[in-house]
């Protein structure tokens, strides 16, 4: 961590003057124009941990033309995520764009609570059993086509696997009939990090808007009447209280969010089990150990390492004044790497997950509070199905000299595609 602290600028500035009784938020604006944008994309949670070391649990930095407050550590995260003084609203539409509009992540109370209650039927044990059964058969079919004894890039392969698995479980369609849908979903995902955000022909932003319009038209039509079936779309079509358009917006959010985050979690698990292959045998033999290995992997590299909020009025976090209209990054991924919570926090040690958490907010891959991910259990089961299927067929390892070059342009993934060499299991 010292290397990153040394590379960051030595500038210190106040975010805004603080009223009596409160402290100003101190931070680093970074170099002119870019601020700390490069460090944010390249280093992700390491950049946030460097700010934490310099300024404490509440700091700020400048990136992408905006001042962003960073809250790191369990208590700072708790204040924002529980939102007991009702001073924060969701900040995702302000950062990634309209792709989640109408979905749970883009809603605040009371709309969020109402929608979450209506969607609970889609995440019941009975409903999830149907999704997981469809996923399992598709995972087996997809892995049977993966190359053996030949190095290939795991990241695009796992993204393709997730896409094909998603179509049957969530849409009730085989992958060959839903390729156009998942291509449109990928178009929206790529636009989340677009720098040129104007609806001009030829731009990623315009392509994503057109893709989203097509998706919503298709999904709204499919949800106009109740459908028989055990897939997510059919289950959602039978939920009372949602218009077809509202149901379509929730389904589109689910397609984007679940596909992306579960892929990132699977990538992390494949990497860390390859770096520490001794855990592969134990995970093959014991589902609990597999669960612990996945949980430890997404502690080290969280699929969604931040949660975005915006202040609706002047407020404070741990005695630091934050003005109204301020974008706030809740640094959950960095919090999971704090040494005062986890000894040797960068070491892969699944046994950590066999004991009670050192703090109830020490492990936050799915958030906390009212906006905690409603699909946590489904997402964990999907990742476990993929990793278990890999372990049943293959073994793999990485040399001690290889460290994945993680990048955080959107959700975390190795910049080199994560080379993977699979060997048949003896």
Over 60: is that where the pLDDT of 1 sits?
A: no
Q: Mean pLDDT check: name the lowest of 39-43, 75-79, 222-226, 358-362.
A: 39-43
Q: What pLDDT does 120 receive?
A: 92
Strand partners, 27: 13, 60
Average of per-residue pLDDT across 24-47: 91
Q: Omega of the bond prior to 113 within 30 degrees of 0, cis?
A: no
Structure tokens at 190: 């790529």
pLDDT band, very low/low/confident/very high, at 288 (cuts 50, 70, 90): very high
H or E segment and range at residue 5: helix 2-7
Spatial distance between the Cα atoms of 199 and 205, rounded to a whole number of angstroms: 6
Residue 330 parent element (H or E): strand 327-330
Q: Which helix (H) or strand (E) holds 51?
A: helix 45-55
- 93-102, 332-341, 381-390: range with lowest mean pLDDT: 93-102
Q: Is the pLDDT of residue 256 over 90?
A: no
Q: Considering its fold, how many domains does the chain have in total?
A: 1
At 9 the pLDDT is 59
* Residue 6 confidence class, pLDDT cut points 50, 70, 90: low
Long-range contacts of 237-245 (CB under 8 A, 24+ apart): 238/121, 239/118, 239/119, 239/121, 239/122, 240/118, 241/114, 241/118, 242/115, 242/118, 244/220, 245/102, 245/216, 245/220
Phi, psi of 241 (to 5 degrees): 105, -5
Confidence category of residue 7, pLDDT binned at 50, 70, 90:
low
pLDDT at 124: 94
Do 99 and 110 form a contact (C-beta atoms < 8 A)?
Answer: no
Range of the domain at 160: 2-424
What pLDDT was estimated at residue 363?
Answer: 98
Would you state the pLDDT for residue 64? Answer: 80
pLDDT, residue 61, reads 96
Phi and psi dihedrals of 400, rounded to 5? -60, -20
- Region 211-240: what's the mean pLDDT? 95
- Beta carbons within 10 angstroms of residue 228's beta carbon: 8
Percentage of the chain exceeding pLDDT 70: 98
71: burial class by Cβ within 10 Å (0-12, 13-18, 19+)?
buried
The CATH number covering residue 389 comes to 1.10.630.10
> What's the CA gap between 147 and 170, in Å, rounded?
27
Instruction: Please give the Cα distance from 303 to 158 (Å, whole number).
Output: 14
């Amino acid at each position: 961590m010292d290397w990153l602290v040394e590379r960051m600028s030595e500038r210190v500035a106040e975010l805004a003057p603080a009223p009596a009784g409160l402290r100003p938020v101190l931070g680093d604006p970074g170099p002119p124009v870019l601020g700390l944008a490069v460090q944010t994309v390249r280093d992700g949670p390491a950049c946030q941990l460097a700010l934490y070391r310099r300024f404490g649990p509440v700091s700020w930095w400048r990136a992408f033309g905006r001042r962003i407050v960073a809250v790191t550590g369990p208590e700072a995260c708790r204040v924002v995520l529980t939102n007991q003084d009702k001073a924060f609203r969701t900040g995702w539409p302000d950062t990634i764009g309209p792709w989640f509009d109408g979905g749970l992540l883009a809603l605040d109370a009371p709309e969020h609570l109402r929608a979450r209650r209506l969607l609970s039927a889609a995440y019941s044990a009975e409903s999830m059993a149907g999704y997981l059964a469809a996923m399992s058969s598709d995972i087996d079919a997809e892995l049977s086509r993966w190359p053996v004894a030949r190095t290939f890039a795991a990241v695009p392969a796992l993204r393709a696997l997730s896409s094909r698995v998603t179509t049957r479980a969530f849409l009730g369609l085989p992958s060959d009939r839903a390729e156009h849908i998942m291509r449109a979903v990928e178009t929206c995902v790529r636009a989340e990090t677009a720098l040129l955000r104007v609806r001009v022909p030829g731009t990623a932003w315009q392509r994503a808007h057109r893709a989203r319009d097509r998706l919503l038209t298709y999904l709204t039509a499919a949800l106009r009447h109740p459908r028989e079936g055990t897939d997510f779309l059919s289950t959602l079509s039978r939920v009372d209280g949602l218009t077809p358009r509202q149901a379509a917006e929730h389904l589109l959010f689910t397609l984007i969010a679940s596909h992306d985050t579960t892929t990132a979690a699977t990538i992390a698990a494949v990497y860390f089990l390859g770096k520490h292959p001794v855990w592969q045998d134990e995970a093959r033999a014991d589902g609990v150990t597999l669960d612990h290995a996945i949980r430890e992997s997404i502690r080290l590299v969280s699929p969604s390492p931040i949660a975005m909020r915006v202040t609706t009025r002047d407020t404070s976090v741990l005695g630091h004044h934050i003005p109204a209209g301020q974008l706030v990054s809740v640094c959950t991924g960095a919090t999971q790497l704090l040494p005062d919570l986890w000894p040797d926090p960068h070491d892969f040690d699944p046994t950590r997950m066999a004991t009670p958490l050192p703090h109830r907010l020490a492990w936050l891959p799915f958030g906390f509070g009212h906006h905690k991910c409603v699909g946590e259990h489904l997402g964990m089961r999907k990742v476990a199905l993929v990793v278990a299927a890999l372990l049943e067929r293959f073994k793999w390892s990485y040399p001690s000299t290889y460290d994945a070059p993680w990048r955080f342009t959107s959700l975390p993934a190795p910049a080199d595609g994560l080379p993977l060499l699979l060997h048949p299991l003896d």
